[in-house]
Amino acid sequence: MTHGMYHYLSQAWKKPDEKVLRERMIQWRSENAVEKVEKPLRLDRARALGYKAKKGFIILRVRVQRGGRRRQREGVKGRKSTKTTIRKTLKMNYQWVAEIRAARKYPTLEVLNSYNVGKDGLHYFFEVIMVDPSKPEIKSDRTTSWISSEKNRKRAERGLTSAAKKSRGLRSKSPNMKVRPSLRSWNRQGK
């Protein structure tokens, strides 16, 4: 049986060339945390998530630091330095964090979706698909016109993207799992 190009692209990404990926990440680390790229690195994944090579679609590569949420407290004197680190477990996954950072960098664009392109010892790298809802090419296309609606404003910040819904525990509709409407709302209600 013959396969198409996208099948072989996805197979290649299951076991990527480590040397090439390492060289790419060295270059990515020297660039900005949110970098606009010309075209998607994983074309098969981008197309599956709704990307089209037309006006109004923009790809951003976002670098997110790994390793929990360790933050130094500023201006603390006369104490052990080891006791001044704030360690908190963030209930958001890194992909959702990357989407929010991309959305804040480009406030006129909306986050459509995102996918992983690599990780090293310090960072995760994601490519975020952004859409300009004001473009006539987006408004006239019946598959993408829904994002121009007012109710889809600030999707990433409101937790409406796919990665955010996964992080909020909204993938399953089982009545036995007490996570709907979301994990955070249950915490707010004190349950």
User: Domain range holding 144?
Assistant: 5-151
Which tokens sit at 165?
């819904």
Which has the closest alpha carbon to 96: 191, 48, 163?
163
For residue 170, what are the contacts with CB-CB under 8 A and spacing of at least 6?
179, 180, 181, 182
Q: Up-side HSE of residue 175: CA atoms within 13 Å toward CB?
A: 0
How many CB atoms neighbour CB 17 within 10 A?
10
For residue 39, what are the contacts with CB-CB under 8 A and spacing of at least 6?
53, 59
Is 180's pLDDT higher than 50? yes
- The reported pLDDT for the residue numbered 108 is 94
- Read off the pLDDT of each residue in 69-82 and give the average, rounded to a whole number: 71
- The reported pLDDT for the residue numbered 191 is 47
Structural domain contains residue 187 = no
Structural domain contains residue 97 = yes
Structural domain contains residue 160 = no
Please tell me whether residue 11 adopts helix, strand or coil conformation.
helix
- Read off the pLDDT of each residue in 104-111 and give the average, rounded to a whole number: 95
Q: What does the radius of gyration of the chain's CA atoms come to, in whole angstroms? A: 19
Amino acid at 163: A
- The reported pLDDT for the residue numbered 115 is 95
For residue 139, what are the contacts with CB-CB under 8 A and spacing of at least 6?
133, 145, 148
- Confidence class for position 179, pLDDT limits 50, 70, 90: low
Of 1 and 101, the one with more pLDDT: 101
- The reported pLDDT for the residue numbered 77 is 73
Structural domain contains residue 185 = no
Is 183's pLDDT higher than 70? no
Q: What's the number of domains the chain is made of? A: 1
Least confident of 10-24, 96-110, 163-177: 163-177
Is 53's pLDDT higher than 50? yes
**Cβ(95)–Cβ(116) below 8 Å:** yes
- Confidence class for position 16, pLDDT limits 50, 70, 90: confident
- The reported pLDDT for the residue numbered 68 is 73
CA distance 128 to 46: 9
- Confidence class for position 85, pLDDT limits 50, 70, 90: confident
Largest CA distance in the chain: 71
- The reported pLDDT for the residue numbered 88 is 72
Is 1's pLDDT higher than 70? yes
Structural domain contains residue 54 = yes
Please tell me whether residue 77 adopts helix, strand or coil conformation.
coil
Domain at 14, CATH number: 3.40.1120.10
Which tokens sit at 181?
């409407």
